[in-house]
Structure 1
C-alpha cells in the first residue's frame, strides 16, 4: 500500500465497505458504457470493405 492516501480514496474505501451493492451498480455502468460485445466476423468484413482510404494530404481538395 502507498504511504500517502488521499481523503477521497479513504472516503471511497469506507463508502464501498458500507455499501457493497454499489459494486454491482459500478459493474452495470461499466458494461453499459465500456464493455462491448464481440462483433460477428461477417459484420467486421463488411465494415472493412466499406472503408474508404484516407488521402495522403487530408486537406487537399483535389
Structure 2
C-alpha cells in the first residue's frame, strides 16, 4: 500500500515519541478549550465597566 513521504515521516515520529499526541492534546487544551461562560457574571462585568474617554491622553482638562 502506498504511503506518502509525509505519512511515513509522521508514522516514524509517532514511533519515536509515543507521547506526542497526548502532549499535543494537552497543549491544545491550554490554549483553546475554555471554561463555559457564566452569562450572569459576564453581564455584571460589562455593567460595572468604566467608559474610556474619547481622547485618553488629555483627560484632565
Question: 2:23 is matched with which residue?
Answer: 25
Match among 52, 55, 59 for residue 54 of structure 1? 52
Q: Any stretches of 5+ residues in structure 2 without a counterpart?
A: 1-5
Q: Any stretches of 5+ residues in structure 1 without a counterpart?
A: 1-8
**Greater gyration radius:** 2
TM-score (norm 1): 0.59
Task: Measure, in 1, the Cα distance between the counterparts of 2:57 and 2:33.
Answer: 35
| Deviation string, structure 1 residues 37-60 (Cα, Å, up to 9, x no partner) | 121111111110111111100111
Q: Name the SS of the counterpart of 1:59 in structure 2.
A: helix
Q: Which moved more, 1:41-50 or 1:20-29?
A: 20-29
Question: 1:45 is matched with which residue?
Answer: 43
